[in-house]
Amino acid sequence: MLVPCGTSCPARASSVILRERKSRDVGGEQESVQAETSRRRSERRYNSYVAHPDVILHHLITSLNGPCQEFEGYVGKLDLDKVEPESFRDLLKFQQQNASVALSLEGYNASGGTEHPPYHFDFLEVTRGIANAHAFQHDGFAFIVMTQPLGELLLNLTFDLSQSPPVRQLFGISAAPVDRDGVHLALFQLQFDFLLGHEYTHHVHRHCAPDETLAVRAEFLQEEEDGSLEQQAQELDADGYSSYLLLANLLQDENRYASVLEGLGHAAHRSAASDELLFTAFFVVVLNVFCAFWRNRTEVAALYKLVHPPPPVRIKNVIQVAQMFAGQNGPVEDSWFQSSRFTELFRTAAATIPGSGRQTWDAQIALLRSPEGERYAQALFDKFEAARKKAE
Ligand SMILES: [Zn+2]
């Protein structure tokens, strides 16, 4: 099962791990660090020798993977040629290429015109089954990385979804002779894209510290209590923007629209029913991934110190963004967003994950509905709105 980023060392307890480079602490050397960074960027631009981002990434990981360091338990860049079995190797290679192409073609509108270093996406080899995703800037590149166990986890989660009778019934494919791999891969791609878009948002919305300071965002943490409302607001922003981009891609890109429908065993015809099916698929995979990384935190005081908001808050935010998207683009009626539908979607998405107990959900909902919980939610929303206005 899940083995998220272990954190026996206090230094690893934060998802945003700040590491001021030593030389920056030594008075006048700060300028020389900036000059050095600038020189290396110029060299990269004008010299025939270009340092490949995967080489830079591997060097960074291997230089910071000692005890209590940022990448403890990480081995380095994953050698995709050595991944077994072959089907998983091919899938990771496809994702690596696909993500790289998507990030290199990223439209001006998607980034909101934000200037940022070139992106590099990669998978990492780790020990102890660490399932995690990270975003950080380093040495002139904006890195997005996922560990191999996270890829395996997403593959397993979506396999279980694809085999689940209630999920298949939701998609209207329970009785049809369906290509099981098609359903599985369509769901895997949606879940993967949601996480990729989340990490991407951390870069384009400037949640990642600039190059000179290494700040590694980690999505899945054992210990969540070293955060702040500001970090939580950024996580809501990343969920929301990723949801918006994914829904826009699903509903507005004709090829994607057709391929997901066909993967789910339906004819690739544009219709109101097809639009609703894609919305349903989107929510099933997103609710499922939130359930998979559920953390049982039910103390009021801890809410303000979390790194990521509790899943019910994140889910509510994603529903609001999807509703806003539907309102602007009209693929589904507002009445589609009734709470009974989401109770059903949540139950179906959670049922495939052993141990994602009803108790945790109930306790967190009860807490968030208490006066203290409502005060927290309002404070988080205010922080989110303030950050959004500042970014405009
Ligand atoms: Zn995040």
Quote the ligand 1 centre to 184 CA distance (angstroms). 25
The confidence score (pLDDT) of residue 209 equals 73
Quote the ligand 1 centre to 268 CA distance (angstroms). 33
Quote the ligand 1 centre to 192 CA distance (angstroms). 14
**Percent of the chain beyond pLDDT 90?**
50
Q: Is residue 16 part of a domain?
A: no
Instruction: Tell me the HSE value of 278 on the side-chain side, using a 13 A CA sphere.
Output: 30
Token pair belonging to 215? 């700040």
Query: How far apart (Å, rounded) are the C-alpha atoms in residues 218 and 104?
Result: 23
Quote the ligand 1 centre to 39 CA distance (angstroms). 31
Query: How far apart (Å, rounded) are the C-alpha atoms in residues 82 and 366?
Result: 47
Q: Is residue 8 part of a domain?
A: no
Q: Is residue 19 part of a domain?
A: no
The confidence score (pLDDT) of residue 107 equals 55
Q: Is residue 77 part of a domain?
A: yes
Quote the ligand 1 centre to 392 CA distance (angstroms). 20
Greatest Cα-to-Cα distance within the chain, rounded to the nearest angstrom: 71
H/E element holding 370?
none
Which residues are close to ligand 1, an ion, with C-beta < 5 A? 235, 238
**Percent of the chain beyond pLDDT 70?**
79
Quote the ligand 1 centre to 134 CA distance (angstroms). 8
Q: Is residue 41 part of a domain?
A: no
Q: Is residue 73 part of a domain?
A: yes
Mean pLDDT of the chain: 82
Residue type, 92: L
Query: How far apart (Å, rounded) are the C-alpha atoms in residues 179 and 162?
Result: 10
Query: pLDDT by residue (tens digit) across 309-338?
Result: 988 899 999 999 999 999 998 778 889 999
Quote the ligand 1 centre to 218 CA distance (angstroms). 7
Q: Is residue 30 part of a domain?
A: no
8-state DSSP, 117: P
Q: Report yes or no: 214 and 70 within 8 Å, Cβ to Cβ.
A: yes
Quote the ligand 1 centre to 174 CA distance (angstroms). 35
Query: How many structural domains are present in the chain?
Result: 1
Query: How far apart (Å, rounded) are the C-alpha atoms in residues 213 and 142?
Result: 13
The confidence score (pLDDT) of residue 36 equals 52
Quote the ligand 1 centre to 31 CA distance (angstroms). 31
Between 347 and 13, where is the model more confident? 347
How confident is residue 289, by pLDDT bands cut at 50, 70 and 90?
Answer: very high
| 3 state SS for 159-175 | HHHHHCHHHHHHCCCCC
Quote the ligand 1 centre to 43 CA distance (angstroms). 32
Whole-model pTM above 0.75? yes
Spell out where the chain has E strands. 16-20, 74-77, 119-126, 133-138, 141-147, 213-218
Quote the ligand 1 centre to 74 CA distance (angstroms). 19
The confidence score (pLDDT) of residue 191 equals 97
Quote the ligand 1 centre to 16 CA distance (angstroms). 10
Q: How many residues does the chain have?
A: 392
Quote the ligand 1 centre to 232 CA distance (angstroms). 9
> What angle is formed at CA 375 by the lines to CA 370 and CA 377, rounded to 5 degrees?
90
Quote the ligand 1 centre to 220 CA distance (angstroms). 9
The confidence score (pLDDT) of residue 284 equals 96
Bridge partners, residue 135, by sequence = 144, 217
Question: Using CA atoms in the order 264, 197, 105, 268, what is the torsion angle rounded to 10 degrees?
Answer: 20
For residue 244, the enclosing domain spans 52-391
Query: pLDDT by residue (tens digit) across 139-180?
Result: 999 999 999 999 999 999 999 999 898 999 999 886 555 566
Nearest to 337 by CA among 262, 257, 276: 276
Q: Report yes or no: 220 and 135 within 8 Å, Cβ to Cβ.
A: no
- Matching residue, tokens 């529903």: 319
Residues 6+ apart with CB under 8 A from 201: 207, 237, 238, 241, 242
Residue 220's SS3 state is coil
- Matching residue, tokens 């019910």: 312
Q: Report yes or no: 183 and 159 within 8 Å, Cβ to Cβ.
A: no
The confidence score (pLDDT) of residue 109 equals 52
Q: Is residue 217 part of a domain?
A: yes
Quote the ligand 1 centre to 199 CA distance (angstroms). 6
